[in-house]
Copies of this chain bind each other. A is one copy, B any other.
């Protein structure tokens, strides 16, 4: 805990990895690419879940649960989807272990217990869900279906990083079924807006809403909406996606409904998801060289109280005093911790709570008691002030709110400073190399150009912003005509 983090300027990637582990958020496990989410990290994820779950319910969605496994024959039904995920599927082939005859005490996969049909561990659940919806949908009266599930999924990634890209991750996936193209498209757009609201207002991370280019779309989607955030190192991070699936899955699973008019039509679909990847976005948006910086909404501990004392007598007095303050603050509904451990020095504790991103620290010693005050330190700005005890009840809720707003504003300013309009490919490369961030440039709309830019710069089209201005221009790469700018960036 005492070891300092590698500074961001020196090695951003190393800083991130060290921070995730030393702030007790997550760690690697014995299973290749799978992480253990530690209690402190999981507590943050739970706050995200609770807020999102409420937002889904307020927009008319219900939760359900579908199987972890997808039989191979169902998985391959929607060909584009299957093709997109086939390369990273964990596959269950057997259903039993048995004693290894050659190694007493060891087990082997029982060759007699081979499954007739292999089961794919879900990388996403469209296939199993649409195979179920088939039985639920006969008429327009059965529509819309507006479901979500909280689940684990597995994508066998070759290069993994804690939270950002793991073989197993936790997420929610919404799957909806609609009568019309228009309604499904509106749903996909609405859920992308819900994600934007959540990430901006609750996580204090500014995002740009946009559409993915064809090559970056979800496999099986006709249109993918996304929210894109910008990390401190100038790389973009896709924070959530919402897909308009057209009738692709309805056709693959033969899901038709009787219309009001007596016809028979294929059903329209959407799916949308955010994952524990958001933890990565959270960390990389707000944190600094001292550790995590948490927006108060997401902080498992919003206020920590640290006693300063010498000897047992002072310890007892300061503790009694601090407990009273803690009780007061709990009554306000704040999440407060009083750290009364007597085997760690205050300096050690200060470092620990800085590392863990606790928004406000109150230190209390005998002198403070005399003066009816505490020393208040803000994690984000590292400013300190003395505050009268009586003023705490008024001050703290306001201050937490202020911190939440200021974190957002700071991240937004950074983001705004890092959207650069460029009009030549030289400039494109120069900005990408020396400044980073989003590059706003004209693109001719072809996959070929997109691919060449990617090959030469590693930058991809992050999105075609929903608020794109119409503006005639020439593609930054090919010079061909373009009607508006899109956002490029290197991305996580």
Contact = CB atoms under 8 A, between A and B. Distances in A.
Contact of A76 (B38, B39, B82, B106): B106
Contact of A156 (B38, B79, B95): B95
A124 to B, nearest CB: 14
A62 B89 contact: no
Contact of A89 (B46, B71, B95): B95
Contacts of A65: 36-37, 42, 170
Given A63-B42, A76-B105, A92 B92 contact: yes
A109 interface: yes
Contacts of A92: 90-93, 121
A97 B89 contact: yes
Contact of A64 (B38, B132, B147): B38
Interface string A59-77: 0001111111111101110
Given A72-B107, A95-B156, A63 B46 contact: yes
| Highest count of chain B CB atoms <10 Å: which of A37, A39, A65, A120 | A65
Nearest to A117: B32
A171 to B, nearest CB: 12
A154 interface: yes
Contacts of A27: 132
Nearest to A92: B90
A30 interface: yes
Contact of A93 (B39, B93, B131, B156): B93
A23 to B, nearest CB: 14
B91 A86 contact: no
Given A67-B31, A69-B31, A105-B76, A62 B39 contact: yes
B128 A30 contact: yes
A94 interface: yes
Interface string A16-47: 00000000000101110011111100110010
A147 B88 contact: no
Given A39-B63, A170-B65, A31 B71 contact: yes
A96 B90 CA distance: 6
B168 A67 contact: yes
A42 to B, nearest CB: 5
Nearest to A85: B97
A324 interface: no
A157 B75 CA distance: 23
A37 B147 CA distance: 12
- The copy count of this chain in the complex is 2
Interface residues of A, number: 63
Contact of A36 (B29, B118, B132): B132
A168 B67 CA distance: 7
Contacts of A196: none
A54 interface: no
Contact of A39 (B38, B43, B147): B147
A87 interface: yes
A119 B97 contact: no
Contact of A168 (B69, B82, B93): B69
A215 interface: no
A71 B32 CA distance: 9
A482 interface: no
Interface string A280-299: 00000000000000000000
Contacts of A43: 62-63
Nearest to A116: B32
A333 to B, nearest CB: 16
A252 to B, nearest CB: 11
Contact of A67 (B34, B96, B107): B34
Given A30-B74, A92-B91, A95-B90, A82 B67 contact: no
A67 to B, nearest CB: 4
A138 interface: no
Given A31-B119, A36-B67, A68-B152, A107 B93 contact: no
Interface of A: 27, 29-31, 34-39, 42-43, 46, 62-72, 74-76, 79, 82, 86-99, 105-107, 109, 118-121, 128, 131-132, 141, 147, 151-152, 154, 156, 168, 170, 343
5 contacts: A36-B67, A37-B64, A43-B62, A65-B170, A109-B118
Given A30-B74, A31-B70, A43-B63, 6 more contacts: A30-B131, A31-B69, A34-B67, A37-B64, A90-B94, A91-B96
